[in-house]
Amino acid sequence: MRGRLLAKPKTAIMNLMKEFLHKVKSSVYDPVYYRELLGKPLSYSVRYFFTFIFYVALILTVVFSFASVPAAQSLFSWALQETTDAYPGELEIKLEKGVVGTNVSEPFFIKIPDDQKKNINQNSTNFENFLVIDTRTPFSLDEFKNYKTVVLLTRDTAVYYKNERTAEIQSLATFPNVTVNKESVNGWIDKIRPLGKFIPAVVVLGTFVGLYFFNMLDLLYLFISALLIWFLFWYWSMPYGYKKAYQVGLHALTLPTLVYYVFFFIPALHSSLFFGLIFLLAVIMNLRPGVSPHKSSKSAV
């Protein structure tokens, strides 16, 4: 008896999945299904679209996570170790009442490792140092440029590039008093390290949410594309307005979305023009007058 009760929900879920897959298949190509859409409410197609992008995001998250989760974990561990190794053992920085003091000869340089320069030096930048500390020389923009550093720490400011051409000067007056040395840095790293266990969940959830909202942007794209479908309605003498054109577009997005992700690693196929052409092809294949489907579509309620 219990086995039968458990089997019923399972059967119901399987039937729902079969029905949804049928809608996906018909949204790719089934002229009869598209004719039936013209008599259905907009809410039917809105539910389909959001269900479709949910499953697309879910499947892609599973696929991408096999590579992205280990990569993120490795990057996290590498960043912590690099921070520990890069901080000089002899350096101690004290910030008291917005004023910086050190225990080393200045200017003091923390250089960028050679294997990291390529990653940091982009857009024609030419950094040689992560950090330069110079609390004795009055700040000047020319001196900042000559140091070729990502960050310059002066007596009471931190200077860094806001973008390739603009330097940002941050006053330290509002910062709390703090002492930074090798021991304190290692202590901070030890506190951060346990957070690594949350990386898989963050990566998976972030990937899913990112993909879901990325595909939701198609709703904005459709505001313009539906005008083309509306024009085709007029050209084919079909008595429907913009609202019905938008509804048809919600289903016609299925084919270009699938093509986009199936050929995800071919950048040449990621252009808006290519996506638009596939979208237009889906509309024409399914709605043009005179098309003679070889079978009938099952009506989906």
pLDDT digits (tens, 9 = 90+) for 176-190: 999 999 999 999 999
Given 125, 150, 180, the domain boundary residue is 180
Residues 222 and 280 in one domain: yes
Percentage of residues of the chain with pLDDT beyond 90 = 56
For residue 119, pLDDT over 70 is answered with no
Same-domain status, 65 and 207 = yes
> Where residue 296 falls among pLDDT bands split at 50, 70, 90?
very low
| Residues 176 and 100 both lie in one domain | yes
Please calculate the CA angle 237-238-240 and round it to the nearest 5 degrees: 135
The domain boundary, picked from 129, 149, 180, lies at 180
List of E strands, the chain: 93-96, 99-102, 108-111, 129-133, 149-153, 157-161, 167-171, 178-180
- The C-alpha angle 276, 55, 68, rounded to 5 degrees, equals 90
Handedness of CA 155, 190, 203, 209 (dihedral sign): negative
> Would 147 be classed as within a structural domain?
yes
295 inside domain: no
The secondary structure of residue 164, as a DSSP letter, is S
- pLDDT score for 224: 93
Q: How far lies 157's CA from each of 36, 49, 130, 171, 172, in Å?
A: 67, 52, 16, 5, 5
Select, from the ranges 127-136, 150-159, 207-216, the one with the highest average predicted confidence (pLDDT): 207-216
pLDDT at residue 140, as a whole number = 83
Residue 116 belongs to some domain of the structure:
yes
Helices 242-252 and 218-235: angle between axes, nearest 10 degrees: 120
Distances (CA, A) of 178 to 3, 101, 134, 172: 64, 11, 18, 11
Judge whether 83 lies within some domain: no
Hey, what amino acid is at 36?
E
**Mean pLDDT (the chain, rounded):** 87
Pairing status of strand 129-133 against strand 167-171: unpaired
Q: What is the pLDDT of residue 11?
A: 78
Same domain? For 64 and 123 the reply is: no
Distance (Å, whole) CA 96 – CA 98: 5
> Which pLDDT tens digit goes with each residue over 243-277?
999 999 999 999 999 999 988 878 777 788 889 99
Query: In which domain, by residue range, is 262 found?
Result: 19-69+201-287
Do residues 27 and 98 both lie within one domain? no
Are 111 and 176 part of one and the same domain? yes
Residues 251 and 221 in one domain: yes
Model confidence band, residue 122 (pLDDT cutoffs 50, 70, 90):
low
Q: Is 5 a member of any domain?
A: no
CA distances from 131 to 111, 150, 288 (A): 7, 6, 65
Claim to verify: residue 53 and residue 127 sit in the same structural domain: no
In the predicted structure, residue 60 carries a pLDDT above the cut 90: yes
Residue 29 lies inside a defined structural domain of this protein: yes
Could you tell me if 58 and 130 lie in one domain? no
Q: Are 94 and 175 within one domain?
A: yes
- In this structure, is residue 55 part of a structural domain? yes
The answer to whether residue 136 is domain-embedded is yes
From 180, 215, 239, give the residue that closes a domain. 180
**Same domain for 207 and 282?**
yes
Domain count, the chain: 2
Q: Distance between CA 282 and CA 143 in Å, rounded?
A: 60
pTM as predicted: 0.76
Quick one: 227 and 263 in the same domain?
Answer: yes
